[in-house]
């Protein structure tokens, strides 16, 4: 993947500024095309990247670390901050991801899960698909017994345009295996919710 074409972005932003009746050469806007190109290179760095690359180095359950034996108990990582760009209006949405999985034969370093989220979020997205893609990546990469992913995000296409619901957030859920239903799912959702008492 070659990455974004910054020169084409700069040309497109210059044309956009002209189209809204602005002078792209005036002070304050003269460097805007370059700034937008730099931002887009960051926002869309996940295009063509494989989120499974972050899950290739695993630790077998049943092995020991400095604390003791690694078990197959549920792993939950809450409040993973993320940002993405809505593909409908090319406006950002930001929020937190909560990821839970019940290990099968392996676990992964906790820092790997935010990398999976970031890779998938760094491309034009809709929140519903992003949630499913995160769950699918963990399911494929770790082969766990169950996966549950919850995203809670604020969308600028809702907060700054149209109905302008400035306090609105959107929650989406994706699940697999033993966390798709039943008491295990309810317990995990309760644990995720208990971390939000500060809100």
Q: Give the burial string for 160-194 (b: 16+ CB within 10 Å, else e).
A: eeeeeeeeebeebbbbbbbbeeeebbeebbeebee
Please tell me whether residues 178 and 88 are part of one structural domain: yes
User: Is 133 designated active site?
Assistant: no
pTM, to two decimals: 0.91
User: Is 54 designated active site?
Assistant: no
CATH number at residue 174: 3.30.1130.10
In a 10 Å sphere around its CB, with 0-12 CB exposed, 13-18 middle and 19+ buried, how is residue 115 labelled?
Answer: middle
Per the structure, the complete domain to which residue 34 belongs is given by 6-42
Please tell me whether residues 31 and 101 are part of one structural domain: no
Please tell me whether residues 159 and 80 are part of one structural domain: yes
Please tell me whether residues 71 and 135 are part of one structural domain: yes
DSSP string, 86-115: ETTT--EEEEEEEEEEE-SSEEE-TTHHHH
CATH number at residue 34: 1.10.286.10
Q: Is 157 annotated as a binding residue?
A: yes
Percentage of the chain modeled with pLDDT above 70: 91
Q: Is 198 annotated as a binding residue?
A: no
pLDDT, tens only, 30-41 = 999 999 999 999
Out of 15, 57, 88, 128, pick the active-site residue.
Answer: 88
Q: Is 86 annotated as a binding residue?
A: yes
Q: Is residue 66 part of a domain?
A: yes
């Amino acid at each position: 993947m070659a990455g974004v074409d910054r020169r084409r972005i700069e040309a497109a932003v210059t044309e956009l500024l002209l189209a809204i009746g602005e002078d792209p050469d005036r002070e304050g806007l003269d460097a805007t095309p370059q700034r937008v190109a730099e931002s887009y290179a960051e926002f869309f760095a996940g295009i063509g990247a494989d989120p499974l690359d972050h899950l290739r180095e695993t630790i077998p359950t049943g092995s020991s670390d400095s604390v003791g034996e690694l078990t197959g108990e549920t792993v939950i990582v809450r409040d993973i901050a993320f940002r993405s760009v809505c593909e409908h209006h090319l406006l950002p949405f930001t929020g937190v991801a909560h990821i839970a999985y019940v290990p099968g034969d392996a676990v992964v370093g906790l820092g790997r899960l935010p990398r999976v989220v970031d890779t998938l979020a760094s491309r034009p997205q809709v929140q519903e698909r992003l949630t499913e893609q995160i769950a699918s990546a963990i399911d494929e990469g770790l082969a766990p017994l169950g996966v549950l992913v919850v995203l809670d995000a604020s969308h600028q296409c809702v907060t700054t345009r149209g109905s302008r619901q400035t306090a609105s957030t959107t929650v989406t859920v994706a699940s697999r295996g033993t966390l798709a239903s039943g008491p295990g799912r309810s317990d995990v959702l309760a644990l995720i919710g208990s971390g939000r008492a500060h809100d």
